[in-house]
Structure 1
């Protein structure tokens, strides 16, 4: 697999992942969206289908890691050369940022209408893409479209939640056989992984919003900080390390568990 394959596949695949995943959060959250208020089930299935689409798209090019935690797990397992890891991670972060910008462009009018609505600005809901201002006073009223936030702000619990959820995800991927070369998602693996993501969202996503992917959270959070959104509030950088560190730890643990129990 060439460096250009990794860069193209991971950048485009991760961009599509965030476009569709962030898109469902925007659809459920923003005023004047036909899906406003559709709820948690819509978000969890939307993210699952986002994984499915992105994995099918990038699987034959780069192996469709789309997630640094997956890349780390595969490197520990031995399916991905450590020399390729920086390129995977950089491409994934770039793709996540591109996907977040595409969400903003797609819902441009809805973002402006939502963020200039007095009702939204004075009494924001608590999740489904919006962050509770009492629990997270530095968070903006649409930050949850771009990145995750906890319902109860406890750093230890939040990290542990992300670690556990990511171990489930990455171990499920590693034990599939993945591709013929063991270096990414195969056709059936993409479908299985998308269903695992739905299961994680339904069962483990309640406490933190289940980042389970460092660039899924960090890339869009950077974009939120940079975009010219009126009344957007802060980007909650005090929490931002948790959805990065937790999934990376979880990916490493999953790789180690695979080598101990399944290799």
Structure 2
């Protein structure tokens, strides 16, 4: 594949993925959204349909990896690393663009949510310094729209959950999802992958919110840190390494299993 097409495809595809995936999180979370409170099923199926839409939109350009974990798994499987930096750059840029588009689409809802005293409290009561000051490392009230976080903060459990979920995803991609060239997702593979993402979300998403994709978490987390959102709180950078490291470890394990058992 041509490097320019890979970069363009991964940028567009990952932007669509995050726009629709982050969009369903915003729809369920934000005040004055018609879908507020729709729940976990809406989020998991929303992310599955987001994967489906993004894959079918850009598979012809880049193979629609849309996920550094998928890129790593394919690279290990084939021992082919030349295009990996191009894939990763497109994925991170696309994730940031998609997150910014979610903010634009829900601009009024973000402002209503983050200026509601019932949600953010009285700003006069917030300390300028200390562990509860705005902008500290803890998760703010809308961070879950942009990136993931654990329900119970236990480093090894959280890391293991991300490893296991990504292992299932990448192993399914490597065994069922690839096109004839073996370099990306095909038409049937896109549908299979979308359904696997739903399955992972329903079965394994409860503990951490199932990043299973480093770009999906890191790019939007950066955008959350940069956006001029009132009372947005911190971006929880102390947790941010887990949804990056966990999926990469899980992808490497999946590729190793593939090469031992299926190759």
Q: TM-score range by the shorter chain?
A: over 0.9
Offset of residue 177 of structure 1: 5.3
Q: Structure 1, residues 227-251: CA drift from partner, whole Å, max 9, x if none?
A: 0000000000000000000000001
TM-score by length of 2: 0.93
What are the Cα deviations for residues 70-129 of structure 1, in whole angstroms up to 9, with x where unaligned? 000000110x73011011011100000000000000000000000000001139xxxxxx
Alpha-carbon distance, 1:178 to partner: 1.0
Q: Which has the larger radius of gyration?
A: 2
- Change in Cα spacing, 1:82 to 1:137, as seen in structure 2 (3 Å) is closer
Alignment match, 1:129: none
Deviations 1:39-96 (A, max 9, x none): 0000000000000000001111100000000000000110x73011011011100000
Aligned-residue offset at 1:180: 1.1
Residue in 2 that maps onto 1:91:
90
Residue 137 of structure 1 deviates from its aligned partner by: 7.5
Residue number in structure 1 paired with 2:186: 186
Deviations 1:175-210 (CA, angstroms, capped at 9, x unpaired) = 015111001110000001000000000000000000
- The answer to whether the Cα contact below 8 Å between 2:177 and 2:190 also exists between their aligned partners in 1 is no
Q: Find the residue that maps to 1:256 and give its secondary structure.
A: helix
Asked if structure 1 preserves the Cα contact closer than 8 Å seen for 2:72 and 2:84, the reply is yes
Q: Check whether the contact 2:177–2:193 (CA below 8 A) recurs between aligned residues.
A: no
- Quick check: 2:20–2:46 contact (8 Å CA) kept in 1? yes
The equivalent residue for 2:63 is 63
Q: Which runs of 4+ in 1 moved over 4 A?
A: none
For 1:47 and 1:187, how far apart are their aligned partners in 2?
18
Q: What residue is the counterpart of 2:125 in the other structure?
A: none
Secondary structure in 2 matching 1:260: helix
Distance in 1 (alpha carbons) for counterparts of 2:261 and 2:137: 44
**Distance of 1:138 and 1:160 partners within structure 2:** 21
> Residues 27-38 of structure 1: matches in 2 within 5 Å?
27-38=27-38
Q: Determine whether 1:101 maps to 2:77.
A: no
Preserved contact between residue 165 and residue 210 of structure 2 (Cα < 8 Å):
yes
1:37-186 to structure 2, matched below 5 A, reads 37-78=37-78, 81-122=80-121, 138-176=138-176, 178-186=178-186
Show structure 2 runs of 5+ residues with no match.
123-131
Q: Corresponding residue for 2:248?
A: 248
* Distance of 2:137 and 2:70 partners within structure 1: 32
What TM-score, normalized by structure 1, do the two folds share?
0.93
* Structure 1 residue 146, shift from structure 2 partner: 0.1
Q: Distance in 2 between matches of 1:177 and 1:232?
A: 38
Q: CA RMSD in A?
A: 1.4
Conserved? CA contact 2:137–2:238, under 8 Å:
no
Unaligned runs of 5+ in 1: 124-132
